[in-house]
């Protein structure tokens, strides 16, 4: 996640403009046979939000 957000941050203005007319999403899909947790630090959540993006974790 760190690498992706760092890659996207220079494009913040563009992503925010996109979010005004639609949805900007960082989407992660995973599959598992057992329970697990995904923990995003508040600082990472702030960085994602500053891009005008939401984070979706799809577990199946």
What is the arithmetic mean of pLDDT over 19-47?
93
Domain range for 33 is 2-59
Separation of first and last alpha carbons in the chain: 20
Q: What share of the chain is helix, strand, coil (3-state, %, to 5)?
A: 50, 20, 30
pLDDT at position 37 is 86
pLDDT at 34 over 90: no
pTM recorded for the entire structure: 0.86
Domain count across the chain: 1
Confidence at residue 35, expressed as pLDDT on a 0 to 100 scale: 84
Q: What whole-number distance in Å separates Cα of residue 25 and Cα of residue 54?
A: 5
Quote the pLDDT of residue 32. Answer: 85
Determine the Cα–Cα distance for residues 21 and 55; give it in Å rounded to an integer.
Answer: 18
Model confidence at 59: pLDDT above 90? no
**Which residues are 39's β-sheet partners?**
none
């Amino acid at each position: 996640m760190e690498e992706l957000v760092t890659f996207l941050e220079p494009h913040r203005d563009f992503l925010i403009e996109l979010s005004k007319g639609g949805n900007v999403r960082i989407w992660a899909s995973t599959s598992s046979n057992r329970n697990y947790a995904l923990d995003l630090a508040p600082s990472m959540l702030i960085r994602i939000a500053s891009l005008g993006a939401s984070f979706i974790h799809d577990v199946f």
